[in-house]
Amino acid sequence: MELRAGQVAVVTGAASGIGLAMARRFAAEGLKVVLADVEPAALEKAADGLRAEGADVHARVVDVGVREQVLELAEAAYDAYGAVHVLCNNAGVGSGAEGRIWEHEPNDWKWAFEVNVWGVFHGVQAFLPRMIKSGQPGHVVNTSSGDGGIAPLPTASVYAVTKAAVVTMTESLYAHLRAEHARVGASVLFPGPHMLRTGLWESHRNRPDRYAKERPRRTPYRSLDQWEAAMRAAGKEVAFTPAEEVAGFVVAGIRADRFWLLPASEHSDAQIRARARSMLDRTNPSYLESFILD
């Protein structure tokens, strides 16, 4: 898809991290941007910052897990700009990562699925019919994670399961778009190749009361900074990928109509090969043994 000035991009989870970086990059390409996020103050700050840089911005507070709010987001986007050409279903939360998979509270699963899976589906259902009907070129980017889409991460099983679901959903979306001969493409994004400094580790700050935890959180790291300090204290190397680099990768992928937005990485490639080899050889998943489960 050719990205041109005047087109419109909608980004969820746009107040910080990858979402804000994508919105800023789209704006730099001349696109009008619709920002959606659950945090009002952060969203206002992000929108004001982009406007100060000359961007044409429409911002709306949205909980993507609530279908009606995403439908209202679509109405607002079309009312404001008359079209949508790029949709980035990027909003996500980290949930679980506290003990064994059978120890996670039901609300950990419910919250993660509502945002990470239902949020993507709500975005697809709210925007795709009109994007297809317009006959204009378009593209959908759904944000997954290497933790679920490349090799499942047992130490963050709830999050990993939801992100694996995003991969399959996007594969289905791609096939359906091709069957309809739509001018809309689809991609699944695996941010990386290293960790990113986003607010994912502090997702609990936005956890709604309807999915409140039944017992205190039991995670050893309350923030990314705590995790980084612990890793460095243990003598382990820590590397981060700038969100701006991911945004540039996304723009290049949209232009190339690339489905797998997966940065080159020896580590990721080795995990993919090990998982595929285990399946083809019908052997037990020994590649999971490298994860620390204690």
Between the alpha carbon of residue 278 and those of residues 262, 287, 288, 291, the distances in Å are 21, 8, 11, 16
Residue, of 293 and 289, whose pLDDT is higher: 289
The answer to whether the bond into 193 is cis (omega within 30° of 0) is yes
For the chain, give the percent of residues with pLDDT over 70.
Answer: 89
Mean pLDDT of 142-168: 89
Among residues 258, 283, 216, 245, which one has the least CA distance to residue 25?
245
pLDDT value of residue 106: 93
Mean pLDDT (whole number) for 121-129: 98
Residue 117 near residue 162, CB atoms below 8 Å: yes
* Residue 233, pLDDT above cutoff 60: yes
pLDDT at 197 over 90: no
Question: pLDDT exceeding 90 applies to what percent of the chain?
Answer: 72
Cα-Cα-Cα-Cα dihedral of 16, 136, 141, 110, to 10°?
A: 90
Report whether pLDDT(78) > 90: yes
In angstroms, the CA 54 to CA 48 distance is 10
| pLDDT tens, position by position, 88-97 | 999 999 876 6
Classify 49 as helix, strand or coil: helix
218: pLDDT strictly greater than 80 = no
Specify the pLDDT at position 40: 97
Q: Which residue type, as a one-letter code, is found at position 96?
A: G
Greatest Cα-to-Cα distance within the chain, rounded to the nearest angstrom? 56
- Residue 78 appears among annotated catalytic residues: no
User: pLDDT: is 257 or 216 the higher one?
Assistant: 257
Residue in the structure block whose two tokens are 């100060």 = 52
- Residue from 159, 174, 211, 221 carrying the catalytic annotation: 159
Tell me the two tokens of residue 265.
């990485």
CA pair distance 294, 292, nearest whole angstrom: 6
Length of the chain, in residues:
294
As a whole number of angstroms, the distance between CA 90 and CA 46 comes to 16
Per-residue confidence at 149, pLDDT binned at 50, 70, 90? confident
- Residue 248 to residue 245: CA distance in whole angstroms: 5
Name every residue whose Cβ is closer than 8 Å to that of residue 243 and which is 6 or more positions away in sequence.
17, 18, 20, 21, 196, 197, 198
